Amino acid sequence: MTSFDPRLVRHDIPLLERVINDHPITYLDSGATSLPPRAVIEAMSRYYELRHANVHRSVFQTASEATAAYEGARDATARFINAPGGAEEVVFTKNTTESFNLLAKSWGWANLHDGDVVLLSEMEHHANIVPWFQLREERGIDVRFIPVTDEFRLDLTNLDHLLNDVKLVSVTAMSNVLGTINPVKELAVAAHDVGALIAIDAAQSVAHGPTDVHDLDVDFVAFSGHKMLGPTGIGVFWTRELLLADMPPFLGGGGMIADVRLDGYTPASGPTRFEAGTPPIAEAVGLGAAIRYLDGLGMANVDKHEEELTRDALHRLEEQFAGRVRVIGPNNVTDRGAVISLDVEGVHAHDVAQVLDQFGVCVRPGHHCAKPLMRRFDLVATVRVSYGPYSLVQDTDVLLEALEHAIKMFG
Amino acid sequence: MSNLEDLYREIILDHYRSPRNRGELASPPAQRVEGFNPLCGDEIVVYLNVEDDVLVDIKLTGQGCSISQASSSMMSSAVKGKSLAQVREAITSFKQLMTVHATALQENGQPVEADLRALGELAALQGVVKFPVRIKCATLAWNTLSQGLDDLS
């Protein structure tokens, strides 16, 4: 049984008590990083105060506790995304970007060759583009892009053709710029039909609704802890146990080996093969606490709440700012998350964001690490508003009032 | 609102609304150099005509926020007609003005005072340093100019 009241969530977030430029903070940048609740911060503090020790080695009491906490977080993560093979399929990385680098440089290096194609989309974050370009230079693979329609959706009309020679489809589950939620299940079926695998960038989607990798029938998933109320410095790479077993090591060093001799080494098996060096232990503990917290809220409730916020914001933007502010993304809440990009007529995104800051409003100006998408719509930068489980309709009130000031100042 | 007025001084908004030395120079003979702000995607192109170690003409094109546009406009006014040695001096003083010192890491840390006399109206941009993320906007044109001079020599 879960209960959800965004006003109560708000009380759990210490940062929301801050006053910025004489205004209570209005945090609308959860798409960049979310705000951790006290439960996460305290779990990490308690770990450092009472249990800190290196994991997987020493046998003393605190080391056992640290190992249990670290591995417990792995298990919680596996359950959170319904990993069919459990914790053995969850690799901890630094962030989504590192997870994609692991995919490209380990699985990609071993399985992709001259002439093989990786199919991305025009709405990808650079994290799901650059590692493939790097692999293209090293391996001679081709990188192809699913176009984006004028309605900000993937254009799948020529999908059959696009899938020629494709070995991997790698797409975002939810655009960090447009808010568009992509038909991952449909893409997974199409990819598997031609014998390809499918990876999804879940950095945005994982924080905004339930994620079930088994139901989606995808093969690889990447996301970050800090976008789901957890700490920075920890990310997740998930794949099926059988695929993981065949992936060569990525970073080399301690912790990832079964044996090292003077003439070579044997890598460890399981996720630890990809976790060289002392891992982010406190961060894993924090991620575990964030997952417990989100489980308490219920991801379906979070999804519903953010959909209401998005519906309200889109409606009021249209009503009050039509002709002055353009929404760069779908104009309704169908298959759309709580990320809203704005193009303010005649005012650069940085200047809008700077004026908003004077009202304590935190938004993200820029290209959002999605330059190909910005070029597709002939934009240099947008102002991105993004909500979290602690956001309220009142946040939108403040945003719209501040937006009016920004337009006045530069208009 | 005092902070915001520090940043968006009237003279800055004036340069933003009516940028000086906007346009292109035939290249060659002019030196053409491009600059990018990887954080926000802003782009700038600087054209330089140098004769006998004097920057006889400078023109700029590109798009960006008010700070980057105003800084490039003010820069062009400040360096046009100056000797290359003077131009390099101006670049050095401006970059000094835009430096975040370690004291800024403390809560409520104040920027270190820079010598503003040599900078003329460029001193109006000193408010930018209180907004560290915007420093790259203000320095884009200057770094591009510096690159152009390096390419010339």
Q: Do B65 and A367 touch (CB under 8 A)?
A: no
- Tell me, what's the pLDDT at B116? 64
Does the pLDDT value for residue B130 go beyond 60? yes
pLDDT at B128 over 50: yes
Residues A380, B7: C-beta atoms closer than 8 Å: no
Residue A234 and residue A383 in one domain: no
Q: Considering only the beta carbons, identify the residue of B40, B131, B137 that sits closest to A367.
A: B40
| Domain end point (choices A267, A296, A325) | A296
Asked whether residue A35 is domain-assigned, the answer is no
The reported pLDDT for the residue numbered B109 is 54
Q: B103 vs B151, which has greater pLDDT?
A: B151
What is the pLDDT, as a whole number, of residue A110?
Answer: 96
| Annotated catalytic residue A369 | yes
The enclosing H or E element of A120 equals strand A117-121
Residues of B in contact with A350 (CB under 8 A): 40, 65-67, 134, 137
Decide if pLDDT at B108 tops 90: no
Q: What residues make up the domain containing B18?
A: 2-152
In a domain, residue A36? The reply is: no
Query: A263: which 2 tokens?
Result: 């003439």
Cβ distance A9 to A37 under 8 Å? yes
| Chain B residues with CB-CB distance to A375 below 8 A | none
**List of residues 6+ apart from A294 with CB closer than 8 A:** A80, A207, A228, A229, A302, A389
A279, A396: one domain: no
Q: What is the CATH number of the domain that holds A124?
A: 3.40.640.10
**pLDDT over 90, % of chain B:** 44
How many domains would you assign to chain B? Answer: 1
Same domain, A10 and A119: no
Size of interface A-B (CB pairs under 8 A): 43
Q: Do B40 and A366 touch (CB under 8 A)?
A: yes
Residues of B with Cβ-Cβ distance to A349 under 8 angstroms: 40, 65
Domain boundary among A277, A296, A315: A296
Residue A339 or B127, more confident: A339
Nearest CB among A358, A366, A367 relative to B1 is that of A358
Instruction: Find tokens 């449909």 and name the residue.
Output: A186
* pLDDT number for residue B1: 46
Are residues B134 and A371, on separate chains, in Cβ contact within 8 Å?
no
CB A365 within 8 Å of CB A353: yes
Query: What's the pLDDT score for residue A293?
Result: 97
Exposure b/e, A324-358, CB count within 10 A at least 16 = b: bbbbbbbeebeebbbbbbbbbeebbbbbbbbbbbb
Q: Report the CATH number that the domain containing residue B9 is assigned in CATH.
A: 3.90.1010.10
A173 assigned to some structural domain: yes
Averages of pLDDT over runs of 10 residues in chain A (411 residues) are 84 97 96 98 98 90 94 97 97 98 97 97 98 96 98 98 98 98 98 98 96 98 98 98 95 90 92 95 98 96 97 98 97 96 94 94 94 93 97 98 93 71
3-class secondary structure, B99: coil
pLDDT, greater one: A32 or B16 = A32
Chain A partners within 8 Å of B10 (Cβ):
none
Q: In Å, how far is B19's CA from the nearest CA of chain A?
A: 15
- A279 contact partners, CB below 8 Å, separation of at least 6: A55, A70, A92, A255
Question: Cα angle at A169 between A78 and A336, to 5 degrees?
Answer: 70
Q: Do A381 and B41 touch (CB under 8 A)?
A: yes
End-to-end CA distance of chain A: 51
Could you say which of A35, A178, A369, A403 is catalytic?
A369
More confident residue, B97 or A387: A387
Model confidence at B100, pLDDT cuts 50, 70, 90, reads confident
Q: How far apart are CA A26 and CA A60, in angstroms?
A: 46
Give CA angle at A310 (A308, A311), nearest 5°: 65
Is 80 exceeded by the pLDDT of residue B106?
Answer: no
Q: Verify whether the Cβ–Cβ distance A367 to B41 is below 8 Å.
A: yes
The total number of structural domains in chain A stands at 2
Of B128, B119, B75, B133, nearest in space to B98 by CA:
B128
Note whether residue A213 is domain-resident: yes
* CA dist., res. A128 & res. B68, Å (int): 30
- Domain range spanning residue A98? 41-296
For chain B, the residues whose C-beta falls within 8 A of a C-beta of chain A are: 1, 3-4, 7-8, 39-43, 63-67, 131, 134, 137
Nearest CA in chain A to B12: A410
DSSP helix/strand/coil, A347:
coil
In terms of domains, do A338 and A255 share one?
no
State the smallest CA–CA distance between residue A125 and chain B in angstroms. 14
Q: Report yes or no on A1 lying in a domain.
A: no
| Maximal C-alpha separation, chain A | 71
Does B66 contact A365 at a Cβ distance shorter than 8 Å?
A: no
**Residues A142 and A220 occupy one common structural domain:** yes
Which among A248, A263, A296 is the end of a domain?
Answer: A296
- In 3D space, the residue among A209, A358, A28 whose CA is nearest the CA of residue B131 turns out to be A358
